[in-house]
């Protein structure tokens, strides 16, 4: 077995303080790029784009060609997992995802009972395989999935919901239903991430994008516990796997760090970066946390945001990134300016 190249992001995940810091952006392949908008138009729809390896490879490579980021993240969506489990998922133009909601334990028992979810996800795995062959050797390839709490919020509400109220209500009213759903998502996510790693992903990220809605008593049982089971399951199958965990909601950051199962923790834009990294173990890699709207604003606001992150993380393992996904109105010139400032620091 040949060893992988010493890609800079992987060095950071191994605990090395690399300078200049490697950089990539959450949602870096997306609507702010004209070439993405053109390709999506050719694909005919968002899910068609996700499930067609020709289109998915193309849009994943677009920001690498344009900006030369240090990492490329698979173009897909977290909702391909509930879709693979048999839930009806579609996207309304300008409004986002829609799902036929699930509401009972019987609904959970029917998930994945007609087809192996990995068969449904085979086109996504093929995209990963092609990407590793086509990406520059020095570019880290990242796979990903959504965290169970985040996925469950969509699956129960049928759409994005303010403060994830339908999921929280279900967790209080029918804890057995929600616990079973989360466990099914843990099992499927482990298999999905292992398949991505086997296809060529250098590392994977788990997105707990709805972490801000977690009531404190549910943080361990509904988020950190399931996240740990996923990471443990992935590493049991592939011991050298590297996993980044992004939990939106800074109040959970240090509980995540103290649990010790992630190779890197993502830091959202609502968290003070200096305070956050000061409380992290010295060898634990961090990632983030530029406010996406600073990138839209550009100029002095962008420069100050970049410098604050670089000052706070100098001398420790850190991946420069946003604190959430890039906004569709982001000017390309601002992305170029950000990269130049990070790399020229």
184 is in an annotated binding site: no
CATH of the domain at 248: 3.20.20.210
Residue 250 in this model has a pLDDT that exceeds 70: no
Range 299-321 average pLDDT:
98
Write down the pTM of the prediction.
Answer: 0.96
154 is in an annotated binding site: yes
Cβ atoms of 203 and 263 within 8 Å: the answer is yes
Residue 5 in this model has a pLDDT that exceeds 60: no
The strand pairing partners of 143, in sequence order, are 204
Residue 98: inside a domain = yes
Q: Which of 215-224, 292-301, 331-340 is predicted least confidently?
A: 215-224
Residues 108-143 have pLDDT tens digits of 999 988 889 999 999 999 999 999 999 999 999 999
324 is in an annotated binding site: yes
pLDDT category, 92, cuts 50, 70, 90? confident
Q: Which of 43-47, 250-254, 268-272 is predicted least confidently?
A: 250-254
**Residues forming the active site:** 27, 31, 40, 77, 154
- Distance, CA of 89 to CA of 84 (rounded, Å): 10
51 is in an annotated binding site: no
Residue 52 in this model has a pLDDT that exceeds 90: yes
Write down the mean pLDDT value for the chain: 95
How, if at all, do strands 96-99 and 89-92 pair? Answer: antiparallel
**Burial per residue of 203-220, b for 16 or more beta-carbon CB atoms within 10 angstroms, e otherwise:** bbbbbbbbbbbbeeebbe
30 is in an annotated binding site: yes
Percent of the chain with pLDDT over 90: 90
Q: What is the pLDDT of residue 241?
A: 97
Residue 66: inside a domain = no
Read off the tokens for 101: 């909601």
28 is in an annotated binding site: yes
Q: What is the pLDDT of residue 96?
A: 87
Residues 134-180 have pLDDT tens digits of 999 999 999 999 999 999 999 999 999 888 999 999 999 999 999 99
265 phi and psi angles, rounded to 5 deg: -115, 130
The strand pairing partners of 97, in sequence order, are 91
Residues 7-31 have pLDDT tens digits of 999 999 999 999 999 999 999 999 9
Residue 268 in this model has a pLDDT that exceeds 70: yes
Q: What is the pLDDT of residue 113?
A: 87
Percent of the chain with pLDDT over 70: 98
Residue 4: inside a domain = no
Cβ atoms of 32 and 59 within 8 Å: the answer is no
Residue 116: inside a domain = yes
Residue 219: inside a domain = yes
Residue 122: inside a domain = yes
Residue 334: inside a domain = no
Range 203-212 average pLDDT:
94
CA dihedral 79, 83, 84, 85 (to 10 degrees): 110
- Distance, CA of 229 to CA of 267 (rounded, Å): 21
Q: What is the pLDDT of residue 2?
A: 46
Residue 94 in this model has a pLDDT that exceeds 90: no
Residue 326: inside a domain = no
C-alpha distances in Å from residue 79, one per residue of 51, 206, 249, 269 = 12, 13, 21, 23
Overall number of domains in the chain: 1
Q: What is the span of the domain harbouring residue 249?
A: 82-129+143-267
How, if at all, do strands 243-247 and 89-92 pair? Answer: unpaired
Sign of CA dihedral 339, 285, 144, 239: positive
């Amino acid at each position: 077995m040949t060893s992988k190249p010493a890609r800079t992001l992987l060095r950071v995940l191994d605990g090395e303080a690399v300078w200049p810091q490697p950089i990539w952006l959450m949602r870096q392949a997306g609507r702010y790029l004209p070439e993405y908008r053109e390709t999506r138009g050719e694909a005919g729809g968002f899910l068609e784009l996700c499930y067609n390896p020709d289109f998915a490879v193309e849009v994943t490579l677009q920001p690498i060609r344009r900006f030369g980021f240090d990492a490329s993240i698979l173009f897909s969506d977290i909702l391909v997992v509930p879709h693979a489990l048999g839930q009806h998922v579609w996207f309304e133009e300008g409004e986002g995802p829609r799902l036929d909601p699930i509401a009972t334990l019987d609904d959970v028992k029917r998930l994945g009972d007609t087809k192996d979810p990995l068969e449904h996800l085979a086109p996504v795995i093929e995209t990963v395989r092609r990407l590793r062959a086509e990406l520059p050797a020095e570019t880290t390839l990242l796979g990903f999935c959504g965290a169970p709490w985040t996925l469950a919020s969509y699956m129960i509400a049928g759409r994005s919901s303010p403060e994830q109220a339908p999921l929280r209500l279900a967790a209080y009213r029918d804890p057995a239903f929600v616990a079973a759903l989360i466990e099914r998502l843990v099992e499927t996510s482990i298999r999905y991430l292992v398949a991505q790693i086997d296809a060529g992903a250098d590392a994977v990220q788990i997105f707990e994008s709805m972490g801000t809605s977690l009531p404190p008593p549910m943080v361990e049982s509904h988020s950190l516990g399931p996240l740990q089971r996923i990471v443990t399951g992935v590493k049991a199958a592939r011991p050298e796997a590297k996993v980044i965990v992004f939990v939106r909601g800074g109040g959970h950051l240090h509980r995540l760090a103290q649990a010790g199962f992630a190779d890197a923790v993502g830091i959202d834009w609502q968290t003070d970066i200096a305070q956050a990294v000061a409380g992290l173990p010295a060898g634990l890699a961090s990632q983030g946390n530029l406010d996406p709207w600073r990138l839209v604003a550009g100029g002095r606001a962008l420069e100050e945001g970049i410098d604050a992150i670089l000052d706070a993380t100098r001398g420790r393992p850190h991946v420069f990134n946003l604190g959430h996904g890039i906004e569709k109105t982001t000017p390309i010139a601002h992305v170029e300016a950000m990269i130049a400032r990070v790399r020229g620091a």
